[in-house]
Amino acid sequence: MSSRRQFIQTTLAGSAAFAGFTACSGGGSSSGTGGGPPPPPPPPVIPGPILVLVQIQGGNDWLSMTPPTSGANAGAYAANRPALAIPASNLTDLGGGIGLNKDCTGFDLLHAAGRIAWIPGVGMQNPNLSHFTATDFWGQGATVPDGTGWLGRWGDAAFAPTEVLRGITTTSDIILMNHGRKRDFVAVTSSGDFNFPTLLRSTAQIPDSNFLKSGYLYSLTNPGTVIDVSAAASEGKLFYDAASQFSGLITTRTPSVPYPGDTGYAIANVSTQLASQLKLVAQMIASGIPGQVYTVRLGGFDTHSNQLNDYPRLMRALGGSIKAFYDDLGSITTTVNSQSVKAQDRVMVVGWSEFGRRIKENNGGTDHGTAILAFALGNMVKGGFYGQGYPDLTKPDANGNMIFTTDFRSVYATLLEKFLGYSDSKGILGATYPTLGFL
């Protein structure tokens, strides 16, 4: 039989935990004006918005995804990439002296339809080029970090206690972006069951629901006997309730289009890592799961070597999976305020990586760099280029890295205010950042 101590260790280990939470200028529901509730949010740009965030893990070499095709940037690109520069024959013209790697399957069609917004040169002051630290920097999104993530703080402010399935990740771990003071996003890794978040484990063993329930019930009858037992139980109860609700809502579904790896998909040997997660998100949306934000992940982008062979495969997995998901959403009808709404008219997909790569190639690949490319796609998106422009490749920093042009928190402010309809982005991010015009 498990002890109270084991319960707490299992539910809190590896997290910033609940004991360490302190007030800071970046979190909670503060309006940033010294007290009182935030102003009522404006209506979102569409009814019932659903945000799907794609974490492109490893450091996407976006100069190989959307390389410059004219002007001084094109000359610097060619000079620094004698072996890795994408040839003009493998590029689709995006306009403005920028091309799209044709291996990014389906993105050319989405761009031509005006469904993709491109935001090149997104970054931050004093970036860190460690995968883990950089991911945390992006996840915090606050002027004064406090161990929580920007989406977690939004969830703290926006979610009612009973809304346990409004924030969902399809990975078994809870990255910092999804970590709040009061709750974490729940991890749903398959339609059959939950995977208890790795972030909250102290061992590899996944605690069963009876273990969580017994710890929760103990805390109700013995409050304050062990430090943080109530907070630990609250997190366990969140997971427990989410699993219960999920099992009552999820239904079986066959996708309306083939995804990478499916019979009938046009390209062979494409990774199914992202496709499987997006298929699950489509199934959850079709089942009426009340998720408003989903986070998914595609790894493998740490292309220090063998990039000529690896990068085309990564692009086919990224583009092909997202295009299949977009097409699949066109067959799903959802209900918003008793009205039927096509899922394709509610869902926006946004992607970014924890950092980019260096301008100059190494021996067969590219090393960790700075500024990244973000993109947003969906029926509600105004296609084109946004932000402060493509970085000047002729004027890198002292380490040969791009100098960012758009602060990453402008992307977050745009998503919070103009898509999710949460007006107090300053209370989440700790300062006011200009929004972008793609919505």
pLDDT given for residue 35 in this prediction: 43
Q: What is the mean pLDDT of the chain?
A: 85
Give every residue of the chain whose pLDDT is below 70, as ranges.
1-44, 193-235
Q: Which two tokens stand for residue 4?
A: 């109270």
Within 10 angstroms of residue 234's Cβ, the number of other Cβ atoms is 17
- Do the Cβ atoms of 334 and 346 come closer than 8 Å? yes
pLDDT digits (tens, 9 = 90+) for 62-71: 999 999 999 9
pLDDT given for residue 210 in this prediction: 56
pLDDT given for residue 227 in this prediction: 46
Q: Does domain 4-429 have CATH number 3.10.450?
A: no
Sign of CA dihedral 360, 365, 369, 375: positive
| Three-state DSSP class for residue 408 | helix
Nearest to 365 by CA among 315, 415, 298, 301: 301
pLDDT given for residue 8 in this prediction: 34
pLDDT given for residue 172 in this prediction: 81
* DSSP-assigned states of every residue in 141-205: --SS--S--HHHHHHHHH--TT-TTSEEESSSS--GGGB-SS-BPEE--SSS-----GGG-SSSS
Q: What is the pTM of this model?
A: 0.85
Pairing of strands 347-353, 50-56: parallel
The interaxial angle of helices 273-286 and 307-329, nearest 10 deg, is 10
pLDDT digits (tens, 9 = 90+) for 201-260: 444 454 555 555 566 566 666 665 554 556 666 667 777 788 888 989 999 999 999 999
Q: Which two tokens stand for residue 134?
A: 């950089």
pLDDT given for residue 224 in this prediction: 59
**Distance, CA of 125 to chain centre:** 21
Name the residue ranges covered by the structural domains of the chain: 4-429
pLDDT given for residue 208 in this prediction: 53
